[in-house]
Structure 1
Amino acid sequence: MAASKKHLRKPEWERQLNQLPVSKEDLNRLVMDYLVIEGYKDAAERFSIESGLSPQVDLESIENRMIIRGAIQRGDIEDAIGRVNELDPEILDTNPLLFFHLQQQRLIELIRAGQINEALAFAAEELAPRGEEHPDLLPELERTMALLAFDIPKVGVPGNGSLAAPPYVAELLAPSQRLRTAGELNAAILASQSQGRDPKLPQLIKMLSYGEELLGMSGPGKWEFPKLDLEGPLGISEESSDLREGREDQVESSAMVM
């Protein structure tokens, strides 16, 4: 027998929410944690003054991370590597996969700039030996080298008379590739400074979205109640779908950490 639908009107829902004990200091710490990890130095400084909450890190370290991230996002990988080594040489010395990804990004930038001879020399001198040491990295190196087979300024443009790159190759030239490399390096810097790699606030919002699904009509709760609009401004829908498909263990782990 199907469970009957249950209604919870907005006034009652808000009344119950308002009864939940929530510490303002805890909320402020969540916001500060987000600002620090995501690199909003100026906002963190202003929020510290307004809330009276002192950040747990040197705000100068935030600026260093953002300068390094900016270097990668504009394609200046040499500058980023140099600044990381000035900050802490052990970050790259102890993380060969990260260093490979940085060198891979450097190769991508050489190919993007049309410096083909330099790209071939760089791949042979810097990346090929690492591929021999770590055979699992060879597919990524081969995918990057495949860019040389295409006309980079016209890659993926139909009807230009050149061979179009397959999506898995062409995506290396997308802005998201730089963002991915920058995010990986940012996480490594945070870890070296004994900081969290991911802000807790977005994970809490994802947990909230997942909880709504469990409580709502599509879940076992079968309740009809007011829901927060999380999909548009926060891009929660895709992650919620993943959670529905068996990621309850991650939600529980996150709850234990926080």
Structure 2
Amino acid sequence: MYVDIQALAHAVELTRQGSVDSLKFAKGDLLLAFQNELCRMKLDLPSLDKLVHEYCVYRGIVEGCPTSTPVEEINCLDPDFFNQNPTLLFQLKQVEFLKLVSGGDYNGALKVASDHLGPLAASNQALMKPLKETLVALLQPSEDAIIKVVPLPVLATSL
């Protein structure tokens, strides 16, 4: 039972007493207690991004493979997935673009932008502003510019 208390406390950032109370409420069922605590949590976008990234690392989707590999794997599993979720494809290609820029491969980054980001934004107006914000990374290819690519809305709207 002590291991369950510690695991729950660590997983959902509860105090020890909070974990004990949650496990009591769930009648000792760790999975149910975990689900209850997750339902009670309020997630902001950065927290959700962090959780998704940690899950992808855990599943081996992100680490040790090129950014394009998850796209290829998803296409193999469900060829229509990205047609139904163009924003997700845009975000994955955006990450690939930013990694190429941060690595100094500007030709590769431009290829990703022209082959994927541009056509996706052309077919979905909601992606036009993120496209402009992403392309600004080419103007300032330092790590700071890449990390802070999203906070450049003023420059992006003036393009």
Regarding TM over 0.5, the answer is yes
Alpha-carbon deviations, 1:36-84, whole Å to 9, x = none? xx79xxxxxxxxxxxxxxxxxxxxxx8997111x34xx67211121222
Match of 2:134 in 1: 144
Match of 1:101 among 65, 85, 91: 91
Match of 2:10 in 1: none
Give the Cα–Cα distance (whole angstroms) in 1 for the partners of residues 141 and 121 of structure 2: 25
Which of the pair has more CA radius of gyration? 1
**After the TM superposition, which residues 18-97 of structure 1 pair with which residues of structure 2 at under 5 Å, given as runs?**
22-31=25-34, 66-68=59-61, 70-71=62-63, 76-97=66-87
Shift of 1:108: 1.0
1:171 aligns with 2:148: yes
Shift of 1:85: 2.7
**After the TM superposition, which residues 141-220 of structure 1 pair with which residues of structure 2 at under 5 Å, given as runs?**
141-152=131-142, 155-156=143-144, 165=145, 170-172=147-149
Match of 2:111 in 1: 121
Count of residues paired in the alignment: 115
CA RMSD of aligned residues (A): 3.7
Shift of 1:133: 1.1
Give the Cα–Cα distance (whole angstroms) in 2 for the partners of residues 65 and 76 of structure 1: 16
Give the Cα–Cα distance (whole angstroms) in 1 for the partners of residues 58 and 147 of structure 2: 28
Return closer, same or farther for 1:27/1:85 CA change in 2, 3 Å cut-off. same
The aligned amino acid for 1:132 is: A
- Quick check: 2:136–2:149 contact (8 Å CA) kept in 1? no
Return closer, same or farther for 1:96/1:132 CA change in 2, 3 Å cut-off. same
* Secondary structure of the corresponding residue to residue 82 of structure 2: helix
The aligned amino acid for 2:33 is: L
- Quick check: 1:75–1:106 contact (8 Å CA) kept in 2? no
Alpha-carbon deviations, 1:195-239, whole Å to 9, x = none? xxxxxxxxxxxxxxxxxxxxxxxxxxxxxxxxxxxxxxxxxxxxx
Q: 1 or 2, which has the higher helix percentage?
A: 2
Give the Cα–Cα distance (whole angstroms) in 2 for the partners of residues 127 and 24 of structure 1: 50
Alpha-carbon deviations, 1:161-216, whole Å to 9, x = none? xxxx4xxx54249xxxxxxxxxxxxxxxxxxxxxxxxxxxxxxxxxxxxxxxxxxx
TM-score, normalization by structure 1: 0.36
Match of 2:121 in 1: 131
Shift of 1:151: 4.1
